[in-house]
Amino acid sequence: MGPLTWLIALPLLGAAAAAAVGRDRERALRMVGLVTSVLVFAIAALVWGRFAPGAASLQFEEHAPWVPGVGLVYHLGVDGLSVSLVALTALLFPLALGAAAQQLAGRAKGFVITALLLETGMLGTFMAQDLVLFYVFWEGMLIPMYFLIALWGGPGRAPAAMKFLLYTMAGSALMLVALVAVAFAGERIAGRFTFDLPALLARPLGLGGPYESVLFLAFTAAFAIKMPVWPLHTWLPDAYAEAPPVVTMLLASVMAKAGAYGLLRFCLPLFPEAMRAFGPLLSVLAVIGILYGGAIAWAQGDMRRLLAYGSMSHMGFILLGIFALNLPALQGSLIQMINHGISTGALFLIAGMLIARTGRADTDGYGGAGAGAPTLAAAAMIVALSSLALPGTNGFIGEFLILLGTFQARPAAAVLAAFGVVAAAAYLLAFIGRIFHGPVRDGLASMGDLRREELAILVPLIAVIFWVGLYPRPLLARSEATVRALLANAAAAQTAARQGPHVAAGGGTSP
Partner 1 sequence: MSTADLVLVGPELVLTIAAVVVLLQDAWATGGVLEPQTPRPAAVWGSLAAVGLALVWDVGGRRWGPAFGGMYVRDQFTMIADLAALAAAGLGILLSSAYLPRVRLPAGEYHALLLLATVGAMVMAASGSLITLFLGLEILSFSLYVLAAIARRSRRSLEAGLKYLLLGAFATAFFAYGIALIFGATGSIDLREIGAARPSRLLGAGIALLTVGLAFEGALVPFHAWAPDVYEGAPLPVTAFMSVVAKVGAFAGLLRVFPLALAHLAGVWGPMLAAIAVVTMILGNLAALFQTNLKRLLAYSGIAHAGYLMIGVAAGGPAGTWSVLFYLLVYVAMNLGAFGVLLLLARQGMEADRVEDLAGLSGRAPWAAAALVLFLVSLAGLPLTAGFIAKLYLFRAALGAHQPVPALVGVLTSVVSVYYYLRVASAALSGGAPQAVAVLRNRLVGAALVLATAGVLWLGLFPAGFTAAVQQAARQAAAAVR
Residues that bind partner 1 (rule: CB under 8 A) add up to a total of 39
Beta carbons of 188 and 154 less than 8 angstroms apart: no
The amino acid that residue 42 corresponds to is A
Phi and psi torsions of 130, nearest 5° = -110, 135
Beta carbons of 329 and 312 less than 8 angstroms apart: no
217 belongs to the binding site for partner 1 (CB under 8 A) = no
- Taking residue 157's Cβ as centre, other Cβ atoms within 10 Å add up to 20
Minimum CB separation of residue 257 from partner 1 in Å reads 20
Residue 11 vs 372, nearer CB to partner 1: 11
Minimum CB separation of residue 262 from partner 1 in Å reads 15
Minimum CB separation of residue 237 from partner 1 in Å reads 21
Q: Which residues lie below 8 Å from residue 11, measured CB to CB, with a gap of 6+? A: 36, 37, 40, 116, 117, 119, 120, 123
Residue 165 vs 432, nearer CB to partner 1: 165
219 belongs to the binding site for partner 1 (CB under 8 A) = no
Residue 23 vs 451, nearer CB to partner 1: 23
Do you know the residue count of the chain? 511
x/- letters, 76..115, toward partner 1 (CB under 8 A): ----------------------------------x-----
Q: What's the number of CA atoms in the CB half-sphere (13 Å) around residue 6?
A: 16
- Which range, of 171-179, 337-345, 436-444, 446-454, touches partner 1 by CB under 8 A? 171-179
Phi and psi torsions of 212, nearest 5° = -60, -40
Considering only 20, 49, 52, 68, the residue that binds partner 1 (CB under 8 A) is 68
155 belongs to the binding site for partner 1 (CB under 8 A) = no
Burial of 1 (0-12, 13-18, 19+ CB in 10 A): exposed
- Taking residue 509's Cβ as centre, other Cβ atoms within 10 Å add up to 13
66 belongs to the binding site for partner 1 (CB under 8 A) = yes
Residue 500 vs 508, nearer CB to partner 1: 508
Minimum CB separation of residue 117 from partner 1 in Å reads 9
Largest Cα separation within the chain, whole Å, is: 73
Beta carbons of 152 and 58 less than 8 angstroms apart: no
Residue 96 vs 133, nearer CB to partner 1: 133
Residue 71 vs 328, nearer CB to partner 1: 71
- Which range, of 133-141, 201-209, 220-228, 367-375, touches partner 1 by CB under 8 A? 133-141
Report the DSSP beta bridge partners of residue 362. 302
Judged by DSSP in three states, 359 sits in coil
Residue 65 vs 392, nearer CB to partner 1: 65
142 belongs to the binding site for partner 1 (CB under 8 A) = yes
Q: Which helix (H) or strand (E) holds 67?
A: strand 59-67
69 belongs to the binding site for partner 1 (CB under 8 A) = yes
- Which range, of 167-175, 220-228, 301-309, 412-420, touches partner 1 by CB under 8 A? 167-175
Report the DSSP beta bridge partners of residue 73. 65
Residue 141 vs 423, nearer CB to partner 1: 141
Of 8, 132, 139, which Cα lies nearest the Cα of 71? 132
154 belongs to the binding site for partner 1 (CB under 8 A) = no
Q: What's the number of CA atoms in the CB half-sphere (13 Å) around residue 34?
A: 15
> Residues 467 to 506: which contact partner 1 by CB under 8 A?
none
Considering only 28, 43, 56, 173, the residue that binds partner 1 (CB under 8 A) is 173
Mapping DSSP onto H, E and C, the string for 443-481 reads CHHHCCCCCHHHHHHHHHHHHHHHHHHHCCHHHHHHHHH
Q: Which residues bind partner 1 (CB under 8 A)?
A: 19, 23, 65-70, 110, 132, 135-140, 142-143, 146-147, 150-151, 158, 161-162, 165-166, 169-170, 173-174, 176-177, 180-181, 183-184, 509, 511
